């Protein structure tokens, strides 16, 4: 029996879902405000403003011209620190990381925007080109069918080179490659040498000199808007793919092997399940190869899901995969992927037939 996963949408770094930003706050003298710029899963450019003093938020959708606003509460207990919004009879969630990035599934100016991600508008990427350059594993957060089925998703590799060139190599999580041309490949099977020297897509990139949180990206004659957030422990590459095409969110791949102990910890996240429901969650990844998860979907808390056999991908050291279990459905066993970089995470969950069930993003929070 197919079920909707309650799981927080484990951190797998791949696909296109309109994802809320983990972002750095821009402050003024009167309030503790965070302004974040990024993309939503329809491919809309969005700006989030979080007022921590009043516990209010607003969202401006640059693509549609629509705006959303309201108030939020801060959750406690197992989901402590996650922002929660109640509107229209439903609940939505967001996670903020160190006032630098934000991931959210709030309403964002179009019904097709399921999850969004953004970075602080105060970020200045000028002079950080060498920190941005590198190889990233990405998830394409998007509502489109891949290889003939919306429950297949796209993930892949972006090589962002210091000379201003970038290459993108996409893969599918399943399906017939003859339908949209994406080769099915699991992350644990990836073994291509990096950086890429070619890709299905090739383009150029540079820092936007006027709007310094943004990147100018040109791919095969079309201009796109990118965003980057770098820190001592994290590097993200966010690329809006245009209306109807969602966005790709990439986390930098370490150049050397890292012990799994460095990836363990508690991560708070937001996500979307395959039937469109929104969730906020808390996942604990342990060094013994096990983990637990608590999540809330539309106001209902579940805290009995777990995973076993957590394993690092051989050639993608910051990508973990695991068996995922839900005791409420004893015959169900799925697969979870987590993509981790510093304090930022993404995830993907699949059912026992290999079909997509949930994805999202979040952060390690103290």
Tell me the pLDDT of the chain (366 aa) as tens digits. Answer: 333 433 333 333 333 333 333 333 343 444 589 999 999 999 999 999 999 999 999 999 999 999 999 999 999 999 999 999 999 999 999 999 888 999 999 999 999 999 999 999 999 999 999 999 999 999 999 999 999 999 999 999 999 999 999 999 999 999 989 867 899 999 999 999 999 999 999 999 999 999 999 999 999 999 999 999 998 878 999 999 999 999 999 999 998 888 888 899 999 999 999 999 999 999 999 999 999 999 999 999 999 999 999 999 999 999 999 999 988 776 667 999 999 998 999 999 998 888 999 999 999 976
Asked if 293 contacts 283 with a C-beta cutoff of 8 angstroms, the reply is yes
- Region of 148 please: left (phi>0), alpha (psi -120 to 50) or beta: left
365 CB contacts (<8 Å, ≥6 apart)?
81, 95, 97, 266, 267, 268, 343
Angle CA 180–182–188, to nearest 5: 155
What is the value of pTM for the model shown? 0.90
Q: Where are the alpha helices (DSSP H) in the chain?
A: 129-132, 177-180
Among candidate residues 224, 260, 263, the one with its CA nearest the CA of residue 245: 224
What are the CB-based long-range contacts (under 8 Å, 24+) for 26-32? 26/120, 26/121, 26/122
What distance in Å separates the CA atoms of residue 345 and residue 240, rounded to the nearest whole number?
Answer: 19
Q: Which domains does the chain have, with CATH numbers?
A: 15-120 (2.40.128.640), 129-252 (2.40.128.10), 260-364 (2.40.128.20)
Sign of CA dihedral 114, 321, 238, 53: positive
């Amino acid at each position: 029996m197919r079920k909707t996963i309650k799981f927080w949408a484990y951190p797998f770094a791949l696909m296109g879902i309109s994802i809320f930003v983990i972002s750095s706050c821009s402050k003024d003298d009167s309030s503790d405000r965070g302004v974040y710029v990024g993309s939503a899963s329809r491919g809309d450019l969005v700006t989030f403003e979080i007022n921590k003093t009043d516990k209010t938020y607003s969202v401006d959708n640059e693509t549609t011209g629509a705006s959303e606003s309201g108030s939020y509460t801060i959750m406690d207990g197992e989901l402590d620190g996650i922002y929660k919004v109640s509107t229209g009879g439903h609940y939505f969630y967001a996670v903020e990381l160190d006032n630098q990035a934000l991931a959210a599934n709030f309403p964002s100016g179009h019904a097709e925007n399921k999850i969004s991600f953004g970075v602080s508008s105060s970020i200045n990427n000028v002079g950080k080109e060498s920190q941005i350059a590198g190889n990233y594993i990405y998830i394409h957060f998007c509502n489109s069918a891949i290889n003939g089925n919306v429950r297949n998703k796209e993930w892949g590799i972006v090589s962002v080179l210091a000379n201003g060139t970038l290459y993108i190599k996409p893969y599918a999580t399943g399906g017939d490659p003859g339908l949209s041309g994406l080769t099915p490949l699991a992350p644990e099977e990836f073994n291509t040498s990096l950086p890429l020297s070619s890709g299905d897509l090739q383009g150029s990139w540079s820092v936007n000199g006027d709007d310094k949180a943004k990147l100018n990206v040109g791919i095969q004659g079309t201009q796109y808007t990118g965003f980057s957030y770098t820190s001592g422990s994290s590097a993200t590459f966010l690329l809006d793919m245009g209306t109807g095409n969602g966005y790709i969110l990439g986390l930098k791949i370490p150049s050397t092997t890292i012990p799994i102990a460095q990836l363990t910890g508690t991560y708070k996240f937001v996500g979307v399940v395959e039937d469109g429901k929104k969730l906020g969650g808390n996942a604990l990844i342990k060094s013994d190869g096990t983990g637990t998860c608590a999540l809330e979907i539309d106001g209902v808390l579940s805290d009995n899901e777990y995973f076993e056999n957590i394993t690092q991908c051989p050639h993608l050291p910051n990508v973990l995969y695991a068996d995922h279990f839900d005791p409420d459905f004893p015959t169900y066993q799925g697969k979870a992927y987590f993509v981790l970089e510093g304090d930022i995470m993404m995830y993907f969950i699949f059912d026992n037939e290999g079909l997509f069930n949930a994805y999202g993003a979040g952060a390690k929070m103290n």
